[in-house]
Amino acid sequence: MNNTILFCITILCITFSQMANAGVAKAGFAERDITPKMGIKRPGVYRKRLHTSIHDPCKVRAAVFDDGKKKVVLVSVDALVFRRPQVLAARKLIHQETGIKKNAILISATHSHSSGPTFTILDGEYDHADELVQELAYTHSLRADPAYLKHVINQLVEAVVTANSSLTPVEMGFASGKEGKVSFNRRFKMKNGLSYTNPRQGNPGIINPAGPIDPEVGVIAVWSDRKKERSEDALLGCIINFACHPTANPPGISANYIYYLEKEIRSIMGEESIVVFLGGASGDINIFDTQSPHQLSYGRAAGKLVGGQVGAAACSVMLKMGSTKKLTLDFKQKILNIPRRKPTPEKVGQARKIAGNLKQITLNPTLWQFSKETVLLDALIQKNPIREVEIQAIQIGPTVFLATPSELFCQYGLNQKKESPFPLTYVVSLANGCVGYVPTEEAFGKNGGGYETRLTAYSNLIPSAGRLMTDAGIALAKEMKPTAIPPRPSAAKFKEAWNYGAVPPELK
Ligand SMILES: [Zn+2]
């Protein structure tokens, strides 16, 4: 048998086996409001600050997929961080209400820096520690609001239960677009041999960015009834994946640029559609162009720019993509146990002196803040020197979502995309909990440094953590069987040229 025939038979076998395994595609979407009340604490800053106005609603948005054999759930929460205990509580309730398997549920925080108090310190977290630690943690740090957390869990579960009960046969499209002008690596190699985070515009010490960006805009689109005329399609909802910190911060409580992303997609694709946004590997990616000589946009303008551009890229993909009514789902999970980095006893002793002197809060706030972080981290290490890190892979047809509970550096996301056997691989940050920033090993090296490599109660895993997490994600993806991207419809067969246009120039 010659090679071409063998190749064709192999392709046919793969296609037939895919068709045999694929079930009827069903999906359901729902969203619920989680806008915090005014006067509530604002996370995302080390100092305590209060929200005083509402700019736009914060939401939980849920998508449930069903292939007849398995179900998977994707949830996004407009929150800076959604911690592990709350994720486990929500998964348990969803399982009780719907029977959906707990590790088939992905819950990701959008990382909106203008959202409600789901972060940082949870009740009871430092009850094991001494008096100084408890005072620093409970009186002088930002605490999550237990009543608000309960509300978010309830709304999240209700959104998933509603999406599950509205499962309906659908047509689905899979493709990705590009938006390379609104996200920037925020770390820079400096002339002094180190790498700095946000060194500020005009800094003469900047050489170049210390890492890449990822311009890919990942899209899964779901229609209840797809017409030939694309503008009449009824888009039920979509999943959007993009790597960039939501730090636009319009004035007041806000879903951040995700609000404008949703606005853009709804204006083009249908006002009723639900937009589930999952943040990519954006640990070192921000919206600010530090190397620009021009004044940058902040607040509402920045939100419109990023959300509008990413939304437009997503719409352009959705308006052209092919689609299918068949679906194959899968999900896998692996728990890694990764040690924390430990501050030296001398450093802890010094930090206790500085953090215990409350005059330092005003005298030297940055020194006091990071001393307090060292003290809190030391207490966390005493309780739990190793962190549980859930790696999750969720397959939706030709797409795999590789999720980690971290602010993963962009390079790791690109590595996962390169090594993955799937036609479309989307990396999800801050999923199923949070273990802080996970920089590259290079960032911990002699030319490294910057904000994300500081040793704090928030970010403290060993330097190889990112590589371990990335490799585990790729290994899970390799255990799955990707399906092919449904192709775009072919052009009609050529018959004749347009007879108005197929003529020589007419001069007289
Ligand atoms: Zn962040």
Give residues whose Cβ lies within 5 Å of ion ligand 1.
407
Q: What is the DSSP letter of 54?
A: B
* Gap from CA of 283 to ligand 1 centroid (Å): 6
* Gap from CA of 97 to ligand 1 centroid (Å): 33
* Gap from CA of 437 to ligand 1 centroid (Å): 7
* Gap from CA of 197 to ligand 1 centroid (Å): 12
The domain locations on the chain are 23-340+385-478
* Gap from CA of 304 to ligand 1 centroid (Å): 20
Helix (H), strand (E) counts: the chain = 11, 22
Query: What tens-digit pLDDT sequence spans the chain (508 residues)?
Result: 455 555 445 444 444 445 556 899 999 999 999 999 876 666 655 555 666 789 999 999 999 999 999 999 999 999 999 999 999 999 999 999 999 999 999 999 999 998 999 988 999 999 999 999 999 999 999 999 999 999 999 999 999 999 999 999 999 999 999 999 999 999 999 999 999 999 999 999 999 999 999 999 999 999 987 776 666 678 999 999 999 999 998 999 999 999 999 999 999 999 999 999 999 999 999 999 999 999 998 899 999 999 999 999 999 999 999 999 999 999 999 999 999 999 999 999 999 999 999 999 999 999 999 999 999 999 999 999 999 999 999 999 999 999 999 999 999 999 999 999 999 999 999 999 999 999 999 999 999 999 999 999 999 999 999 999 999 999 999 999 999 999 998 999 999 999 999 999 999 9
- The two tokens of residue 394 are 């969720």
* Gap from CA of 406 to ligand 1 centroid (Å): 9
- The two tokens of residue 17 are 């086996």
* Gap from CA of 452 to ligand 1 centroid (Å): 9
pLDDT value of position 2: 56
* Gap from CA of 466 to ligand 1 centroid (Å): 15
pLDDT value of position 50: 66
* Gap from CA of 245 to ligand 1 centroid (Å): 6
* Gap from CA of 124 to ligand 1 centroid (Å): 24
* Gap from CA of 407 to ligand 1 centroid (Å): 6
pLDDT value of position 234: 81
Whole-number CA gyration radius for the chain: 24
SS3 32: strand
* Gap from CA of 248 to ligand 1 centroid (Å): 12
pLDDT value of position 10: 46
- From the number of C-beta atoms within 10 Å of its C-beta (0-12, 13-18, 19+), residue 294 rates as exposed
* Gap from CA of 451 to ligand 1 centroid (Å): 10
* Gap from CA of 469 to ligand 1 centroid (Å): 18
Contacts of residue 373, defined as CB under 8 A and 6 or more positions apart, other chains included, come to 454, 455, 456, 457, 458
pLDDT value of position 245: 97
* Gap from CA of 370 to ligand 1 centroid (Å): 17
pLDDT value of position 297: 87
* Gap from CA of 415 to ligand 1 centroid (Å): 20
Question: Residue 450: what residue type?
Answer: G
- Could you write out the DSSP letters of every residue in 448-479? --SGGGS--SSS-B-TTHHHHHHHHHHHHHHT
* Gap from CA of 317 to ligand 1 centroid (Å): 28
* Gap from CA of 286 to ligand 1 centroid (Å): 9
* Gap from CA of 424 to ligand 1 centroid (Å): 25
* Gap from CA of 368 to ligand 1 centroid (Å): 21
* Gap from CA of 371 to ligand 1 centroid (Å): 20
* Gap from CA of 335 to ligand 1 centroid (Å): 23
* Gap from CA of 430 to ligand 1 centroid (Å): 9
* Gap from CA of 56 to ligand 1 centroid (Å): 21
* Gap from CA of 8 to ligand 1 centroid (Å): 48
Stated pTM of the model: 0.93
* Gap from CA of 149 to ligand 1 centroid (Å): 20
Whole-number Å distance between alpha carbons of 91 and 85: 10
Contact present, 308 and 277 (Cβ < 8 Å): no
